[in-house]
Amino acid sequence: MSDNSTVLVVSPHPDDAEVGAGGIIAHWAAQGRTVVLVVCTNGDKGTSDREVDPANLTETRRKEQLAAGKVLGVSEVVMLGFPDQTLEDATEFRERIVREIRKHRPHAVVTCDPYRKYINHRDHRITGRVTLDAVYPFARDHLAYPEHLDEGLEPHKVREVYLWSSDEPDCFLEISEEAFKAKRAALYSHVSQFGGRNEQRESRARSGPEGIGRKIGVPLAEQFKLVAVGG
Spell out the domain ranges in the chain: 6-228
Question: Mapping DSSP to helix (H, G, I), strand (E, B) and coil, where does residue 64 land?
Answer: helix
Q: What is the pLDDT of residue 194?
A: 84
Q: What is the pLDDT of residue 2?
A: 65
Radius of gyration of the chain (CA): 17
Q: How far is Cα 159 from Cα 229, in angstroms, rounded to an integer?
A: 5
pLDDT tens digits in sequence order for the chain, 231 residues long: 666 799 999 999 999 999 999 999 999 999 999 999 999 999 999 998 899 999 999 999 999 999 999 999 999 999 999 999 999 999 999 999 999 999 999 999 999 999 999 999 999 999 999 999 999 999 999 999 999 999 999 999 999 999 999 999 999 999 999 999 999 999 999 999 887 666 666 777 789 999 999 999 999 999 999 999 987
Q: What is the pLDDT of residue 200?
A: 65
Contact call for residues 71 and 189 (beta carbons, < 8 A): yes
Could you give the C-alpha distances from 208 to 47, 144, 196, in angstroms and in order? 24, 40, 19
pTM for this predicted structure: 0.95
Q: How many CB atoms lie within 10 A of CB 95?
A: 17
| CA 225 to chain CA centroid, nearest Å | 14
Q: How far is Cα 79 from Cα 77, in angstroms, rounded to an integer?
A: 6
Contact call for residues 210 and 200 (beta carbons, < 8 A): no
Q: What is the pLDDT of residue 230?
A: 82
Q: How far is Cα 203 from Cα 200, in angstroms, rounded to an integer?
A: 5
Verify cis geometry, omega within 30 degrees of 0, for the bond prior to 146.
no
Those residues with Cβ within 8 angstroms of residue 196's Cβ, 6 or more apart along the chain or in another chain:
188
Q: What is the pLDDT of residue 204?
A: 77
CATH of 6-228 given 3.20.20.70, 3.90.1580.10, 3.40.50.10320, 3.10.105.10: 3.40.50.10320
| Cα dihedral sign, 141-90-229-179 | positive
